[in-house]
Amino acid sequence: MSSPRSGFGSGFRFLFEPGFFSSGPVHAALLTGTVVALVSGAVGVFTVLRGQSFAGHSLADLGTLGGSGAFLFGVGPLWGFIAAGVAVGGAMDLASTRRRASRGVATGIVLGAVQGVSALLLYLDTTSGSTTGVTVTVLFGSLFAVSGYTATATLAFALLGLASLAVCYRPLLLDSVSTDLAAARGVRVRLLGLAFMVVMGITVALSSLIVGTILSPALLIGPAATALRLTQSPLAAMGTAAALGALATGLGVLLAYDSYHWKPVGNGWPVSLFVIALLFTAYLLSGLRRPRAGTGPAPATATTEAA
């Protein structure tokens, strides 16, 4: 008869495959992925509140331009994602007007203009002998490959995004509730909108490095949408979204590492698959426990926090 201790040990080994806690790539993946998930969750809340989810999705799609271009010219993919995110995010804001209804139109115009170039660069990458496998890396990410200088730069950009969000929190929240009220209180709404689009572009670029350009919108929008279902305060929603994203990323790294030992042995599953599956499950479950007063922070609550 086996003892409870031996049963616990067997369960522990089943969940954590040998080498998980001693693996350098795993440590780097957990640290980098968690920090990126934190900033993605926080920025994602404002993205949803401002009705710019489509812009976030488009930034991810257009990140293919930066990632494929970086590989084509022998530059690290992070810098390609960052350059594309900042440039395209700024272009989207400059092409829009103060009316929120025009944001979707401006986003669609920029999306159509850049998508063709992205397809061309990705085609050139796939036909080049020195960049084989770039399509999978750009579209689905490579978290376990993020290390060294790239990991340090990723952490620096993530901290920059969080710091920018902290500085702009109150005026950004007020602008998210009412642009006219924010302008009446002296907020430079156009400059603020441009700054937020740049921060969103950086955030999407970082998440593209983690889970790829196809799935990065889920890391930006998924935790935020779930948190807004469960909370009544924007600040609480940001904390909840950041925690959900970090938890899903950590579990995704664990499951991806364990998958190398699943049958057929040696064919591990991507981190992005597990992260997105966990976030999607959390969103579905959040529908079972919605706030009574509606979904997300009430305008009065948001205005009070912004005051």
Mean pLDDT is lowest, of 3-12, 173-182, 185-194, 243-252, for 3-12
Q: Is the peptide bond before 264 cis (omega within 30 degrees of 0)?
A: yes
3-state secondary structure (DSSP) of residue 228: helix
Residue ranges of the domains in the chain? 24-306
Class of domain 24-306 as given by CATH:
mainly alpha
Please name the helix (run of DSSP H) or strand (run of DSSP E) that holds residue 28, with its range, or none.
helix 24-49
Residues 41 and 208 sit within 8 Å (Cβ to Cβ):
no
C-alpha closest to that of 271 among 175, 177, 182, 140: 140
Residues 203 and 40 sit within 8 Å (Cβ to Cβ):
yes
The pLDDT value recorded for residue 162 is: 93
Q: Which residues contact 13 (CB under 8 A, 6 or more apart)?
A: none
pTM: 0.82
Question: 8: pLDDT confidence band, cut at 50, 70 and 90?
Answer: very low
Reported as a single tens digit per residue, the pLDDT across 83-103 is 988 888 887 777 765 555 555
- Token match 């995704």: residue? 252
> How many distinct helices (H) and strands (E) make up the chain?
14, 0
Reported as a single tens digit per residue, the pLDDT across 291-306 is 555 555 655 555 556 5
The pLDDT value recorded for residue 283 is: 93
pLDDT beyond 60 at 271: yes
